[in-house]
């Protein structure tokens, strides 16, 4: 693909992942974890890292503290050939951290946001953005500094000639204060999961949630976990089955890896069915290694995993 395919704006943090935990946390009690991993975290960075591994020329705009975690974030992205020129560091801030406690196929997260909350629309190098083909933003609710300008951000990206995509992620305050009526017309591909769709729209079924977005959204690519996924466009629904594997480790970053696969195919000009199916594939591959990027160490490694675990060619 072209060297300047994708411009990602988003949050940056490290994941400290605990597995094989002997019970749920309790006040006044201590639990023991049998395994720990420290990896690149944050929805935006996992997306950027994994789609770059697939061969998409990717740049990242975000903010970290001038500390060891911030350096680890940048070094890890650079090792995947992500351009980190537009990542700024601040001595007054600390890089974000998420503690992930895994329990079978579910998890509990505690996040310290840190520098990610300080990123604003003015940190985005708009004079450089027009050199790229596609603009992506993830994790709206954790980035306080961009929330009031979210519609303007996507409007400016469209005016610069880019296609766009957005993954809101979960609202930890459970308020879901996002003006989708104003913003989504500037978003070419909206990438919620099932729970996020229902929470955002206040509806009880997928069909009702999609109908609510119909007048505002262009393309909705809905992630449904082990139920697969669907694409919704002007009342039409396209579905794709999931890829089930027997080597499940954890689901950290599975949605971000779905995004990476979907946008990868979108940038190739593929049909929606192919974008959706490949997103399901990359999401499933994600779950075969610890953390959001463990299954995407190299393109050859991704191809080998797809072949040996899921019997699929990439």
- Rounded to the nearest 10°, the torsion over CA 99, 296, 220, 233 is -170
Cβ contact 56:50 at 8 Å: no
Predicted local distance difference test score (pLDDT) of residue 210: 96
pLDDT for residue 249: 84
Residues 185-228 have pLDDT tens digits of 999 999 999 999 999 999 999 999 999 999 999 999 999 988 99
Under 8 Å between Cβ of 276 and 238: yes
Single pTM value for the model? 0.93
C-alpha to C-alpha distance for 95 and 131, rounded to whole angstroms: 28
Instruction: Compute the average pLDDT of residues 232-260.
Output: 90
pLDDT on residue 167: 98
pLDDT of residue 103: 85
- The chain-wide mean pLDDT, for the chain, equals 94
Structure-token match 């998890």, residue found:
107
Q: Look at residue 162 and give its three-state secondary structure.
A: coil
pLDDT over 80 (residue 106): no
Select from 257, 268, 259, 265 the least CA-distant residue to 295: 257
Q: How confident is the model at residue 117 (pLDDT cuts 50, 70, 90)?
A: very high
The predicted pLDDT at position 1 comes to 65
Sheet holding 96-103, edge to edge: 33-40, 13-21, 96-103, 106-112
Residue at token pair 């463990």: 294
CA neighbor of 143 nearest in space, from 125, 168, 165: 168
Cβ neighbourhood burial of 234 (10 Å; 0-12, 13-18, 19+): exposed
Structurally, at CATH architecture level, domain 6-10+43-95+117-310 sits in 3-Layer(aba) Sandwich (3.40)
Domain assignments of the chain as residue spans, ordered by start: 6-10+43-95+117-310
Residue 51 CB contacts under 8 Å (≥ 6 apart), including other chains: 6, 58, 259, 260, 263, 264
Task: Report H helices in 150-271.
Answer: 150-159, 180-183, 194-201, 206-213, 254-267
């Amino acid at each position: 693909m072209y060297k300047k395919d994708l411009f990602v704006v988003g949050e940056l943090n490290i994941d400290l992942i605990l597995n094989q935990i002997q019970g749920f946390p309790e006040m006044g009690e201590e639990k023991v974890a049998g395994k720990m991993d420290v990896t690149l975290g944050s929805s935006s960075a996992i997306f950027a890292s994994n789609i770059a591994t697939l061969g998409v020329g990717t740049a990242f705009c975000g903010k970290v503290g001038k500390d060891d975690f911030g350096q680890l974030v940048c070094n890890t992205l650079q090792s995947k050939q992500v351009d980190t020129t537009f990542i700024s560091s601040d001595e007054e801030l600390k890089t974000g951290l998420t503690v992930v406690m895994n329990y079978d196929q579910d998890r509990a997260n505690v996040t310290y946001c840190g520098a990610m909350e300080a990123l604003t629309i003015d940190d985005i190098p708009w004079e450089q953005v027009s050199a790229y083909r596609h603009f992506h933003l993830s994790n709206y609710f954790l980035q306080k500094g961009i929330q009031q300008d979210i519609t303007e951000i996507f409007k400016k990206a469209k005016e610069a000639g880019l296609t766009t995509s957005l993954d809101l992620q979960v609202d930890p305050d459970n308020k879901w204060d996002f003006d989708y009526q104003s913003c989504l017309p500037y978003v070419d591909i909206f990438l919620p999961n099932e729970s996020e769709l229902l929470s955002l729209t206040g509806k009880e079924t997928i069909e009702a949630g999609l109908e609510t977005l119909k007048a505002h959204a262009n393309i909705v690519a809905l992630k449904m976990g082990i139920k697969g996924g669907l694409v919704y466009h002007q009342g039409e629904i396209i579905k794709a089955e999931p890829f089930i594997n027997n080597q499940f480790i954890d689901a950290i970053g599975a949605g971000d890896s779905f995004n990476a696969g979907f946008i990868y195919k979108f940038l190739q000009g593929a049909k929606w069915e192919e974008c959706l199916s490949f997103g399901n594939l990359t999401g499933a591959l994600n779950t075969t290694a610890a953390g959001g990027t463990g299954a995407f160490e190299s393109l050859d490694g991704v191809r080998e995993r797809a072949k040996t675990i899921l019997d699929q060619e990439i």
